[in-house]
Copies of this chain bind each other. A is one copy, B any other.
Amino acid sequence: MPEKIGWERKDLLGLEDLSKEEIELILNTAESFKEVSERPVKKVPALRGKTVVNLFFESSTRTRTSFELAAKRLSADIVNIAIQASSVSKGETFKDTAKNIEAMKINIIIMRHSASGAPHMLARVVKSSVINAGDGSHEHPTQALLDMFTIKQRKGKIKGLKVSIIGDITHSRVARSNIWGLKKLGAEVTVCGPKTLIPLGIEKLGVKVTYSLKEALDDADAVNILRIQHERQQSGLFPSLREYVNKFGINRDTLQYAKKDLIIMHPGPINRGVELTSEVADGPYSVILDQVTNGIAVRMAVLYLIAQRRA
């Protein structure tokens, strides 16, 4: 069990706000928890008697399940609340929902919402802690933390590594959280994708931009491949699927000049034959399933640190 240490924030809303030390604290804590899920008895009493709510305004089996398991392996009580975003169109109603949940003496609310900033608004109005489980195209901090944790497990460090993020950067909360986190820990980050899907001025975040997949892969230590959201196809910004696959799909050929110890990540669920071929997804570079395993350790760490913080 990790020692009670210096986490002081009520909420985890994004990696933009966190210091290098806070991110490292989460990653180190996750290391202690990773082993819990390998035990015959996958359970520690750390959060016994704490109440956690999974408040999902957007459905997500994976993230919901990962948090639910993390909470249960910490012995917390967890309740799932799924709300159709359509039924809460007004901000006031959202606030009332929030205040009602708080009034039930909930320690931690894990929230996913299609609107950027929704968890931040929640965090301002409730005394309960809030964990952002993905807000619009803004942040998805636990995903980025598990990505970084996976890199660190594989490479022993993050500082100085070259990490490329490939795909629809504009609409990706995964990209945004990764950029903030990786930069703080000293990685060199390159983003790569169709011109229409890379936000103007993103260089200000300290990343390199390239429209050439070859350049993005060339000397990368880790590659994070974003999921193509088929629903974006209609947006006009998106090339045809065929064109996308031709220029940005990862396959054996595109990897021929890659480093021997490259690792390939993907937040899932993967579109086989689109962002990457099956050969790559199931190949030696892929650490995609490690990410899933690590997701539980990272979420246990976040829940633990928040629950145990000096109040």
Interface residues of A (CB under 8 A from B): 37-43, 48-51, 53, 61-62, 65-66, 68-69, 72-73, 77, 79, 81, 83, 92-93, 96-97, 99-105, 268-270, 272, 278, 289-290, 292-293, 295-296
Contact = CB atoms under 8 A, between A and B. Distances in A.
Contacts of A97: 269
Nearest to A103: B292
A69 B79 contact: yes
A92 B38 contact: no
A1 B293 CA distance: 32
**Count of this chain's copies in the oligomeric assembly:** 3
A93 to B, nearest CB: 7
Nearest to A278: B92
A105 B51 contact: no
The residue among A38, A61, A81, A268 with the most chain B CB atoms within 10 A of its own CB is A61
A131 B97 CA distance: 25
Given A69-B51, A77-B69, A93-B269, A100 B278 contact: no
B81 A77 contact: no
27 contacts: A37-B104, A41-B48, A41-B50, A42-B105, A43-B48, A43-B77, A51-B73, A53-B65, A61-B81, A65-B79, A65-B101, A66-B104, A69-B77, A69-B79, A69-B104, A92-B272, A93-B269, A96-B272, A97-B269, A99-B289, A100-B268, A100-B289, A103-B289, A103-B293, A104-B293, A104-B295, A104-B296
